[in-house]
Amino acid sequence: MATNVDERIQLVDPRPMYAQPPFDQQSKFDVPGSTAQMSPQPDHGEQSYQGSGKLRGLSALITGGDSGIGRAVAICYAREGANVAINYLCENDDAEQTAELVQQAGVRAELIRGDVRDESFCADLIEQSVSKFGGLDILVNNAAYQQTRDGIDDFSTEVFDRVFKTNVYGTFWLSRAAMKHLPPGGSIINTVSIQSFQPAGYLLPYAASKSALAGMTKAMAELAIKEGVRVNAVAPGPVWTPLIPSTMPAEKMETFGGNTLLNRPAQPIELAPLYVWLASPEASCVTGEIFGCTGGRTPL
């Protein structure tokens, strides 16, 4: 059907679309953080995102799917017609809210609690997802952990180990297990970071882990395409999610995202459509790529 040329979508200036720093002091809470305690509340596309069947009938597993980018991707995938398995660490309230939003789209939501630092759990997580949906088409490796410190000596081996086990090992274990089930045309999508390419000292282990994950994305793409599976990544800049107030010092929170060209952090919904496109057949020639969504901070 031809488009009515007299119709015009409403363009919106991206700079004032969402809150800009300085931000109010956030309540301090434990990792991975709680969406309910954030002020202002993140936008995951609850009111705005409209699907068009791009992922109709597919099944996806999203780690860290209870909040932040993971919740936004879950909502978008559901509204595009995909069933969604939501892995989360411990925030039951956030996870249940995300599952409810997924189900409201008329698809199935499955909650699977557990820690991706555990190799045996990663294997079981893939098997549970396949069992519940009868297959798996999309794996989104989004779970992440970070801590900030002022000096090298302040980063303990325990922190370094937790960061790498969550961000790198978990992604490897899940991807390896998923490859036994993903069909030709299936996708693995990793969440890397601007820190992969523009590392900050106060995030040393996190930046190093995300650099490793960027390399893993490209290396894995070379191997996975032999089975017809595409592997790509999205590299966010500053994004307004519970991970930020649960890990950032107060002085950095106040100005968070002010160093982008938009003078604000991204909201989760501003990244999620990239994950939709990468998982869809429309991105059939796209593999081994990393797509930046950094508010103009750096080319990738």
- Amino acid present at 86: I
Query: At a CB cut-off of 8 Å and minimum separation 6, what does 46 contact?
Result: 75, 101
Torsion angle of C-alpha atoms 31, 98, 282, 142, degrees rounded to 10 = 10
> Which DSSP helix (H) or strand (E) runs through 230?
strand 230-236
pTM of the model: 0.94
Kindly report the backbone phi and psi dihedral angles of residue 241, in degrees, each rounded to the nearest multiple of 5, phi listed first. Answer: -135, 165
Predicted pLDDT at 126: 98
300 pLDDT exceeds 90? Answer: no
Query: At a CB cut-off of 8 Å and minimum separation 6, what does 182 contact?
Result: 136, 137, 139, 188, 224, 227, 229
R_g over Cα of the chain:
18
Residue 123 has, within 13 A of its CA and on its CB side, a CA count of 2
Residues with catalytic function: 206
- Amino acid present at 49: Y
172 pLDDT exceeds 90? Answer: yes
9 pLDDT exceeds 80? Answer: yes
Rounded mean pLDDT, 162-166: 97
- Coil/strand/helix, residue 141: strand
Instruction: Note the residue count of the chain.
Output: 300
Rounded mean pLDDT, 184-199: 96
Return d(Cα 119, Cα 221) in angstroms, integer: 21
Judge contact between 98 and 35, C-beta under 8 A: no
**For residue range 244-282, what is the model confidence (pLDDT) as tens digits?**
777 777 777 888 888 999 999 999 999 999 999 999 999
32 pLDDT exceeds 80? Answer: no
Predicted pLDDT at 299: 61
Return d(Cα 78, Cα 76) in angstroms, integer: 5
1 pLDDT exceeds 60? Answer: no
**For residue range 215-233, what is the model confidence (pLDDT) as tens digits?**
999 999 999 999 999 999 9
> Which DSSP helix (H) or strand (E) runs through 272?
helix 272-279
% of the chain exceeding 70 in pLDDT: 95
30 pLDDT exceeds 70? Answer: no
Predicted pLDDT at 24: 79
Rounded mean pLDDT, 127-147: 97
Which of 96-105, 171-180, 223-232, 252-261 shows the lowest mean pLDDT across its residues?
252-261
**For residue range 37-92, what is the model confidence (pLDDT) as tens digits?**
787 888 898 899 999 999 999 999 999 999 999 999 999 999 999 999 999 998 89
Predicted pLDDT at 39: 77
- CATH class of the domain whose range is 52-293: alpha beta
Q: CB atoms < 10 A from the CB of 26, how many?
A: 19
> Which DSSP helix (H) or strand (E) runs through 251?
helix 250-254
**For residue range 237-248, what is the model confidence (pLDDT) as tens digits?**
999 888 777 777
Torsion angle of C-alpha atoms 117, 208, 189, 41, degrees rounded to 10 = 80
Long-range contacts of 4-9 (CB under 8 A, 24+ apart): none
